[in-house]
C-alpha cells in the first residue's frame, strides 16, 4: 500500500478527502485530463450521494435519542431506489398520533429495515423532530 488509510473511522473526512483528490491539485487535473469531465461528474455525484446517506444516518441517530415518540399509521409508502447499508430509503406518508399533542399528517423520507418494511395500514413507532415533523425515524 502507498500509505495508511487514516479515514477508516470517519466517513465525513473520507468523503471530503475523496472530493479534494478528484477536484483539486495535480490528481484532480490528471483525472480530468485522462478520464474526462463526465467521469469526474459521475464521481462527484457518487460522493454527494454518499454524503447524503451519512447525513441521514446522523440525523436518524440523533432523532432516535432526542425525538418525540409517537405512533403513526402508514397512509402510503414509496421506494426511492436508494439503499443505505442495504436497507431501503422510502418516502412514507403518515398519520401521526403523538403521546402528547394533536394528531397530524406528515410525509418523510427515511431508512427502514429491509426485514420490517412497513405496509399501508400498519401502525409503526416513530420519533420525530419537534422543529420539523417531516424528520422522522422508525424505531
Using one digit for the tens of pLDDT, what is the confidence trace for 36-46? 999 999 999 98
| pLDDT tens profile 69-103 | 999 999 999 999 998 889 999 999 999 999 888 99
When computed from its CA atoms, the radius of gyration of the chain, rounded to whole angstroms, is 19
Same domain, 91 and 53: no
| pLDDT tens profile 49-63 | 888 888 878 887 888
Judge whether 132 and 107 are in contact, CB under 8 Å: no
Length of the chain: 139
Q: Rounded distance, CA 2 to CA 50, Å?
A: 24
Same domain, 35 and 81: no
CA triplet 40, 2, 14: central angle to 5 degrees?
Answer: 50
Within a 10 A sphere around the Cβ of 90, how many other Cβ atoms? 21
Same domain, 80 and 57: no
Q: How many domains does the chain have?
A: 2
Same domain, 88 and 122: yes
Q: Which of 62, 77, 98 is the last residue of a domain?
A: 62
Residue 73 in domain: yes
Q: Which residue has the cell 423532530?
A: 129
Same domain, 50 and 22: yes
Same domain, 72 and 132: yes
Residue 1 in domain: no
Per-residue three-class SS string for 36-58? CHHHHHHHHHHHHHHHHHHHHHH
The region, left, alpha or beta by phi > 0 then psi within -120 to 50, assigned to residue 36 is left
Same domain, 84 and 129: yes
SS3 135: coil
Residue 17 in domain: yes
Same domain, 36 and 80: no
Same domain, 125 and 72: yes
Residue 5 in domain: no
Q: What is the pTM of this model?
A: 0.68
Same domain, 39 and 76: no
Adjacency order of strands within the sheet including 87-98: 104-111, 87-98, 68-84, 123-128, 136-138
Domain that holds residue 45: 11-62
Same domain, 106 and 45: no
Amino acid at each position: 500500500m502507498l500509505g495508511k488509510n487514516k479515514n477508516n473511522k470517519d466517513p465525513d473526512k473520507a468523503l471530503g478527502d475523496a472530493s479534494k483528490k478528484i477536484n483539486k491539485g495535480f490528481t484532480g487535473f490528471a483525472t480530468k485530463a485522462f478520464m474526462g469531465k463526465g467521469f469526474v461528474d459521475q464521481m462527484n455525484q457518487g460522493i454527494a450521494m454518499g454524503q447524503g446517506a451519512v447525513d441521514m444516518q446522523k440525523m436518524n441517530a440523533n432523532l432516535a435519542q432526542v425525538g418525540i415518540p409517537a405512533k403513526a399509521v402508514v397512509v402510503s409508502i414509496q421506494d426511492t431506489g436508494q439503499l443505505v447499508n442495504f436497507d431501503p430509503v422510502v418516502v412514507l406518508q403518515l398519520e401521526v398520533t403523538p403521546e402528547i399533542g394533536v394528531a397530524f399528517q406528515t410525509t418523510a423520507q427515511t431508512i427502514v429495515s429491509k426485514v420490517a418494511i412497513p405496509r399501508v395500514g400498519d401502525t409503526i413507532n416513530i420519533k420525530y423532530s419537534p422543529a420539523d415533523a417531516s424528520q422522522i425515524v422508525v424505531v
